[in-house]
Structures are given as C-alpha cells and as structure tokens.
Amino acid sequence: MKAKNWISMLAVSVAMMSLLTACGSSNHAESRTSTSQTTESETETVTEQTAETTGDGKTLVVYYSASGNTEAVANVIAEVTGGDLFELEPTTPYSDADLNWTDDNSRVTREHENEDERDVELVSATVENWDSYDTVFVGYPIWWGIAAWPVDGFIEANDFTGKTVIPFATSSSSGLEESGELLAEMAGTGNWQEGMRFRSGVSADDVTGWVEELELGK
C-alpha cells in the first residue's frame, strides 16, 4: 500500500514539473515575441523620423539684393548659421536707373505695372547639392509690398519638400506683409516660416539676435 502511495506521489511530481517547464517555455517565447515586436516598432519609428529629413542638416542662404542691403543681412545670417551663400543674379542686371521706382518709365516700374514683364531670367536658379540642405533662408527687398520678383524664378525652379524655409526681407519703410506667404504659395512645397523684415542699415547684432531666437537644429 505504501509503495502504491509513493508511486502515485512520484507521478504527480513528474506531472507538475512537466507543466512548469511548459509554462516557462511559453513565457520565454512570449517574451521573445514581445521584444521582437518592440524592436520592429522602434525601427519603424526611426525610419519614419529619418524620412522627414531630406538633407544633411546644412543651411543655405539664398538672396537677391538690389542695393546691397539684403546682401548685408544674408552675409550675417550665413556667418551665424555656418550656412552657404547663393546670390540670385538677373541675366540682365538692374541699373540704378532701372531701380528708380519714382520714374514711370523705369524698368522696375514697367515690370510692376505689367506682370508679364516680371519673368526675370537668372544666371542660375538651381543650387549644387540642393538635396543636402535642410534649412533655406530666402532673402529679398520689398517691392510694392511683395518680394522682389527676381526671386520668383528660384522659387519656381526648386522643390522645397522636406526643407524649412525662412524668408527675410529688407526695406526702408514697408513691412514683410504677405511676401513670404505668396512665395510659399508659389513654391507649393516646404515648411515655410513667418520670416522677418529688416530696415535698411540694420545692425549685425539685430540680425544675429533674430537668427539665434529661431533656435535652428533644436
């Protein structure tokens, strides 16, 4: 009788050990599956985040300057950001007489009154290694409340997808108004920011302060 009891207890012990082993294997398998799923999820997240950025973190400062004011601001921005400069140059440069907006017969006045004449051909409208830039500053003087139209050719010729675009302008009295919004509409791509208008003769410290407030790269 004792032998039978001992055999029964041994059988129960073996059964319990087998059950515990099976449970442990199941939990280990579930743990590996959960870890695998988490890793895949993290990988997908990293991939999605990477896809949002198309460049190498570089900054480009593009500008058209009629009298040198916009160029001065562009130089400061490039120095502060460590960015590259790209000047937009009309194939037929504007002379001082062309820029005399008080003359009804000047080139700039005629172009203002007739939009068909605003298609200004540029020496170059595309930038080498364009895809390497994540942030693009676009600078211009304000002409009759809008961006000087020599900039239009550059905007239309490039795809700003995946780039942060920051307009800046110079003028003696006019504000930024809707110049940046109109360029963003013209571009149709890019993450366009509000931008800034600087007075003629603005100090380098004022420009530097504005750029630092943007907290680029953070």
User: Cα separation of 161 and 52, whole Å?
Assistant: 9
Can you tell me the mean pLDDT for 36-60?
Answer: 46
* Interhelix angle 69-81/204-214, nearest 10 degrees: 50
Give residue-wise pLDDT tens across range 160-179.
999 999 999 999 888 999 99
CATH number, span 58-214: 3.40.50.360
**Which of 55 and 34 is assigned the larger pLDDT?**
55
Average pLDDT, the chain: 81
Half-sphere exposure of 107 (CA within 13 A, CB side): 15
- The answer on pLDDT for 44 being more than 60 is no
What's the pTM value of the predicted model, to 2 decimals? Answer: 0.74
How far is Cα 95 from Cα 103, in angstroms, rounded to an integer? 13
* Bridge partner list, 58: 133
What are the structural domain ranges in the chain?
1-52, 58-214
